[in-house]
Amino acid sequence: MKLKPVDSEMLLAAGYDPKSFILHVVFRTGESYRYKNVPGFVYDGLLKAESKGKYMHKRIIGRYDYERV
């Protein structure tokens, strides 16, 4: 999966695999997470969000299972 750099105070990069519905994000802390069963529109929304951090907290963190990688 190719990660795209994002303009965010919270994230460095994000990527999405539409076949497995995996959202991969890299936080500015250096931590990397894969969120499972994320619909494509959620990833699109993240990329378009004015505040990626607010979007992560409202739409992703706590809503999808994840693994730290």
The set of long-range contacts for 48-57, using a CB threshold of 8 Å and a minimum separation of 24, is 51/8, 52/6, 52/7, 52/8, 52/9, 52/10, 52/11, 52/14, 53/8, 53/9, 53/10, 53/11, 56/10, 56/11, 56/25
Tokens 């894969």 belong to: 34
pLDDT of 23-39, one tens digit each? 999 999 999 999 999 99
In tens, the pLDDT along 36-51 reads 999 999 999 999 999 9
